[in-house]
Amino acid sequence: MIYPELHFTGQVWRPPYEANSQLLQITSGCTWHKCKFCSLYYGTPFRMSPLSEVEADLKVIRQWQPRAHRVYLTGANPFALSYNKLMDIAILLRKYLPHLVSFGMFARVTDIAPKSIEDLKNLRHMKLDSINIGIETAHDPTLERMNKGYRATDILRQLSKLDEAGIHYNVFYLNGLGGKGKGVESAIATSDVLNKLHPCIINIVSLTVFPESQLYQEVVDGTYEEAPEIERLVEMRTLISRLNIKVNIMGHHISNTVPVIGALPNDKAAILHELDNAIAQLSEKDLKAYRNRIYHL
């Protein structure tokens, strides 16, 4: 028997909590491709899938997963598509998957800017219920140094629009991104912004520099000094201790030398206790050896 294939180009990433979602490619690569630390979509130019391709994939999905109830749209930031294009996709999802309850995708902070609150509410009405955003940090000097293309005020302004439109969102914090000596500042700036927002999940990932990234060259030539491992634990502790919102913390990514997970505020004391123990007992050398063994995210 010949199995029909879906269109997937280049690297396909999804958050761990989307493991049960049906994946559907509507873009490949990233529209921005300029963040210094990033190697996630290395070698894959941005491409928007033609609607005919999306429709062909949906015909396959309807045949093999007729009761699919959640779809995750793939690509680094499919939310970069215009409101009209996203509505076209939402209409196709509705047409081919009658049991669909919701869909989600990754977005850059800047992808939200061109969309009005009314646009966002309409997309929510069409079952877009959550998006995942790599804010990385809300520390302006770090955002600028890493070429993220937005500032902390943009994070606050754009994610507040999602709150108003009723679209849930999860963010990614990149621990250690500021480099040596900047972790606590980064954590303070980020907690100050997040405390004014309503993310459902804060994913914490610890910076691991791969040769495909621009930052790697800066590490090699000594213009960027990576944050020591113990300093990163202090940074994570600072971030979590300062959060006063109700939010889930998912810090058990492979890049974290000390995995933490829990729901704030209930689990805050336990998480901080765990981090305090790690800071007191673990050695920089062992933690660094762990990071050096990470070959891929």
Q: How far is the CB of 136 from ligand SF4 (least distance, A)?
A: 7
Among 24, 25, 27, 41, binds ligand SF4 (CB under 6 A): 41
Alpha helices in 97-213 (DSSP H): 109-112, 117-125, 140-145, 152-165, 183-194
Nearest residue (CB) to ligand SF4, 214 versus 241: 214
Among 7, 9, 11, 33, binds ligand SF4 (CB under 6 A): 33
Among 10, 22, 28, 38, binds ligand SF4 (CB under 6 A): 38
What residues numbered 87-146 form the site for ligand SF4, per CB under 6 A? 108, 134
Q: How far is the CB of 281 from ligand SF4 (least distance, A)?
A: 33
Binding mask 12-31 for ligand SF4 (x = CB under 6 A): ------------------x-
What residues numbered 251-290 form the site for ligand SF4, per CB under 6 A? none
Q: Which of 164, 175, 176, 54 is nearest to 105 (CA)?
A: 54
Q: For residue 121, is it left (φ>0), alpha (ψ between -120 and 50) or beta?
A: alpha
Q: How far is the CB of 96 from ligand SF4 (least distance, A)?
A: 28
Output the CA–CA distances (angstroms, integers) from residue 108 to 78, 79, 116, 125, 132, in the order listed.
Answer: 9, 7, 16, 21, 8
Nearest residue (CB) to ligand SF4, 38 versus 105: 38
- The three-state secondary structure class of 267 is coil
Q: Binding of ligand SF4 at residue 247 (CB under 6 A)? A: no
Tell how many helices (H) and how many strands (E) occur in the chain. 11, 10
Q: Give residues with Cβ within 8 angstroms of 198, minimum separation 6.
A: 163, 245
Nearest residue (CB) to ligand SF4, 45 versus 141: 45
Counting Cβ atoms within 10 Å, is residue 200 exposed (0-12), middle (13-18) or buried (19+)?
middle
Nearest residue (CB) to ligand SF4, 11 versus 122: 11
Q: Binding of ligand SF4 at residue 35 (CB under 6 A)? A: yes
DSSP 171: E
Q: How far is the CB of 213 from ligand SF4 (least distance, A)?
A: 9
Nearest residue (CB) to ligand SF4, 86 versus 258: 86
Q: How far is the CB of 263 from ligand SF4 (least distance, A)?
A: 26
> Using CA atoms, how far apart are residues 29 and 294, in angstroms rounded to an integer?
23
Structure tokens at 141: 């000097």
Nearest residue (CB) to ligand SF4, 34 versus 273: 34
Nearest residue (CB) to ligand SF4, 216 versus 279: 216
Element (H, E) at 218: helix 214-221
Q: Give residues with Cβ within 8 angstroms of 169, minimum separation 6.
A: 130, 131, 132, 133, 159, 162, 199, 200
Residue with tokens 């309503």: 198
Among 24, 26, 40, 68, binds ligand SF4 (CB under 6 A): 40
- Which positions lie near ligand SF4, rule CB under 6 A? 30, 32-35, 38, 40-41, 76, 108, 134
